[in-house]
Amino acid sequence: MLQSLYTVLLYLIQPLIWVRLWLRGRKAPAYRKRWGERYGFCSQKMQHGGIMLHSVSVGETLAAIPLVRALRHRYPTLPITVTTMTPTGSERVQSAFGKDVQHVYLPYDLPGSVNRFLNRINPKLVIIMETELWPNLITALKKRDIPLVIANARLSERSARGYMRLGKLIKQILQRITLIAAQNEEDGQRFLSLGLKRSQLVVTGSLKFDISVTPQLAARAVTLRRQWAPHRPVWIAASTHDGEESVILAAHRQLLARFPDLLLILVPRHPERFPDIIRMAQQAGMPYITRSSGEVPPASAQVVIGDTMGELMLLYGIADLAFVGGSLIERGGHNPLEPAAHAIPVLMGPHTLNFKDICAKLEEADGLITVQDTDSLVKEVGLLISDQDYRHYYGRHAVEVLYQNQGALQRLLHLLEPYLPPKTH
């Protein structure tokens, strides 16, 4: 009954969704494209009978990259379809995998759209990253006997309370899932409290620790650093949101008084904000170049604006230290392990709810520095730039936390084996 009501409401709000997509398309034109995919109509020819993996947006896609690569290596004959919900997630998939995987948007959770899509790709296994519980999709997979694994699953207290209000429906939905691979015991317990059976739960740890800097990426970063700033200190502020760039640019202005050749790489989280950041740099009177221009920053440039997609790991590799955004404002923060993988110090604001466990581990090991505002950012960045030993101390500890917590990927691959044909590698 509740699921039918949910479906009716979802049909009724479709016109509002179209309006929202159209309005978002004013700043990000990609939102006005590929609407057919959102209803299960795929214009491209799709191979079927493989693995489908859903990662809603950029963060989940980054965590999925090592998993997709490992699955391609183990099951080279199986087509892999990676779905997302956002254009930024879509661009990340395409830049990470190119034509090695099939990519479309996951359709909205309407029975007709879901079934149309499943008829098209008919997967042997569906993997959903983190926690996207779509009742009609989960029901359709159960009816078709297609195993569903929620990988790298997390469930905050707040989300658990929200799901609790669904009563029996959430229990029914959870019991239709084949397996939930939770990031930690806390998350696992929350799923159990909502009605998941113990036999459906395995705690694997977080896939986010299983990132690595490939030799090719490291070589590109070294080359770019030599071109851009062979004798200049460099810091990066990445995945920033509205309200953070003004703090960062104010801090950079103060730091330039002490370190006149300091270079800032500023990378906003959302591509539709690139023009805003360019305008802010102009208003601050700071000479800048954009990454998309392909230019080498002249000695006079004080800021490089990262206005390309899929290059964040490369840009982290150029920097001496990193500030990770979404954390000075209440967005919950973005992934501190990406800069940690390059063995550079990591700074974040106080709002790190999205990465609570990871940040706690980093902080405990002296791999993360918390800043509150412009003054504390200036103080900490200044210390790190002026003291090489201090900088190496925090960078080394950050990367050690990454190495010590790896292994979730291998545990997850082992759990997926029963649902896939024998591996050829």
Instruction: Report DSSP letters for 92-152, one per residue.
Output: HHHHHHGGGSEEEEPPPS-HHHHHHHHHHH--SEEEEES----HHHHHHHHHTT--EEEEE
CA 184-189-194 angle, to 5 degrees, is 135
d(CA 425, CA 423): 6
Shared domain check, 338 and 198: no
- Examine residue 348 and state whether it is found in any structural domain, yes or no: yes
Domain co-membership, 287 together with 361: yes
pLDDT tens figures, 75-124: 999 999 999 998 888 888 888 888 889 999 999 999 999 999 999 999 99
Residue 265 sits in the same domain as residue 242: yes
Residues 396 and 262 in one domain: yes
As annotated, the active-site residues are 60
CA distance 395 to 151: 29
CATH code assigned at 386: 3.40.50.2000
Residue 367 placed within a domain:
yes
Residue 395 is assigned to a structural domain of this protein: yes
Residue with tokens 């002026």: 386
Are 340 and 263 within one domain? yes
Measured CA to CA, the distance from residue 233 to residue 256 in angstroms comes to 11
Find, among 166, 164, 173, the residue nearest to 196 by Cα.
Answer: 173
CA–CA separation, 370 vs 45, rounded Å? 48
Rounded Cα distance between 205 and 182, Å, is 7
Same domain, 229 and 131: no
Domain total of the chain: 2
Whether residues 40 and 188 fall in one domain: yes
Cα–Cα distance measured from residue 26 to residue 75, given in angstroms and rounded to the nearest whole number: 41
Q: Is residue 5 part of a domain?
A: no
Integer Cα distance of 425 and 418 in angstroms: 16
Same-domain pairing of 101 and 71: yes
The reply to whether 220 and 188 lie within a common domain is no
Encode 304-355 in three state secondary structure.
EECCCCCCHHHHHCCCCEEEECCCCCCCCCCCCHHHHCCCCCEEECCCCHHH
Which string of DSSP letters, residue by residue, matches 239-282? Answer: EE-TTTHHHHHHHHHHHHHH-TT-EEEEEESSGGGHHHHHHHHH
CATH number of the domain residue 206 falls in:
3.40.50.11720
Residue at 420: amino acid letter: L
Adjacent-strand bridge partners of 321: 235
Does residue 372 form part of some domain?
yes
Domain region containing 52: 30-210+407-419
Q: Note whether 328 and 238 are within 8 A (CB).
A: no
Is 257 inside a domain boundary? yes
- Give the per-residue pLDDT at 425: 53
Question: 279 with 401, same domain?
Answer: yes
Residue carrying structure tokens 């210390």 = 383
Q: Report the predicted TM-score, pTM, of the whole model to 2 decimal places.
A: 0.84
Q: Quick check: helix, strand or coil at residue 169?
A: helix
Q: What is the mean pLDDT of each run of 10 residues along the chain (425 residues)?
A: 88 94 89 93 87 88 89 94 91 86 95 96 95 93 96 91 89 95 94 95 94 93 96 97 96 98 96 93 96 95 93 96 97 95 98 92 97 97 97 98 95 95 70
Bridge partners, residue 180, by sequence:
150, 201
Q: Is residue 200 part of a domain?
A: yes
CA distance 349 to 38: 36
Q: Indicate whether 193 and 320 sit together in one domain.
A: no
Nearest to residue 322, comparing CAs of 309, 301, 307, 306? 306
Question: What pLDDT does 43 receive?
Answer: 80
> Are both 360 and 280 inside the same structural domain?
yes
286 within a domain of the structure (yes/no): yes
pLDDT of residue 131: 84
CA trace torsion 325, 331, 337, 342 (10° rounding): -10
pLDDT score for 424 = 58
What would the two tokens of residue 416 be?
Answer: 């997926």
